[in-house]
């Protein structure tokens, strides 16, 4: 009787720790932007940024930070990729005025991409790694 209670308690503890580990998984990635791009009407300089996303399902809210400063917040859709991204990368589209707009983020080591709604921009998408 004591062993079965101990086994149940041990199993419950294992499930609790496993669910805490999954819940604690951060949806965060470093992103290197190698050219000036616009997102949500803001122009981002080249450099290292941190993208963090939250939400349930495929639609998420992305916060882009440079250091501790939030530089942009925008909606995106998570797409499954066939294999893990080898590097962090971003995709861009060309606006009618020739400027580049951020269209996607490919987090290093993850099998996902974050796709921004670029229906208001040009349709010439190109990844930048």
pLDDT digits (tens, 9 = 90+) for 71-99: 999 999 999 999 999 999 999 999 999 99
Q: Judge residue 87's burial from the number of C-beta atoms within 10 Å of its C-beta, 0-12 exposed, 13-18 middle, 19 or more buried.
A: exposed
Q: Are 52 and 27 in contact (CB under 8 A)?
A: yes
**pTM for the structure as a whole:** 0.71
Number of domains in the chain: 1
**Mean pLDDT taken over the chain:** 81
For residue 61, the model assigns a pLDDT of: 96
Is 1 inside a domain boundary? no
Sign of CA dihedral 33, 48, 24, 21: positive
- Give the mean pLDDT of 108-119: 88
DSSP string, the chain: -HHHHHHHHHHHHHHHHHHHHHHT---EEEEEE-S-EEETTEEEPSEEEEEEEE-SSSEEEEEEEETTEEEEEEEEEEEE-SS--SS-EEEEEE-TTS-EEEEEEE-TT-SEEEEE--TTS-S-EEEE-
What does the pLDDT average to over 102-121?
86
Q: Per the domain annotation, does 12 fall within a domain? A: no
d(CA 45, CA 50): 13
Between β-strands 59-66 and 69-80, what pairing exists: parallel, antiparallel or unpaired?
Answer: antiparallel
The answer to whether position 9 is within a domain reads no
pLDDT band at 67 (very low <50, low <70, confident <90, very high): very high
The whole domain housing 107 covers: 27-128
Query: 5-28 pLDDT, tens per residue?
Result: 555 554 544 444 444 344 445 799
In a domain, 77, yes or no: yes
Q: Is residue 10 part of a domain?
A: no
16 found inside a domain: no
What per-residue confidence (pLDDT) applies to 18? 42
Question: Is 13 among the domain residues?
Answer: no
Q: Which token pair is 73?
A: 């917040």
Q: How far apart (Å, rounded) are the C-alpha atoms in residues 52 and 45? A: 18
Within a domain: residue 11? no
């Amino acid at each position: 009787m004591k062993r079965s209670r101990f086994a149940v308690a041990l199993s419950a503890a294992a499930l609790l720790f496993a669910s805490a580990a999954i819940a604690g998984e951060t949806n965060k990635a470093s992103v290197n932007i190698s050219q000036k791009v616009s997102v949500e009407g803001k122009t981002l300089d080249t450099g290292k940024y941190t993208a963090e996303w939250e939400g349930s399902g495929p639609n998420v809210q992305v916060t882009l930070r440079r250091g501790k400063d939030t530089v942009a917040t925008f909606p995106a859709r998570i797409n499954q990729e066939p294999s893990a991204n080898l590097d962090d990368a971003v995709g861009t589209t060309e606006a009618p005025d020739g400027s580049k707009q951020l269209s996607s983020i490919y987090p290093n080591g993850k099998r996902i991409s974050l796709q921004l709604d670029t229906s208001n921009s040009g349709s010439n998408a190109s990844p930048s790694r």
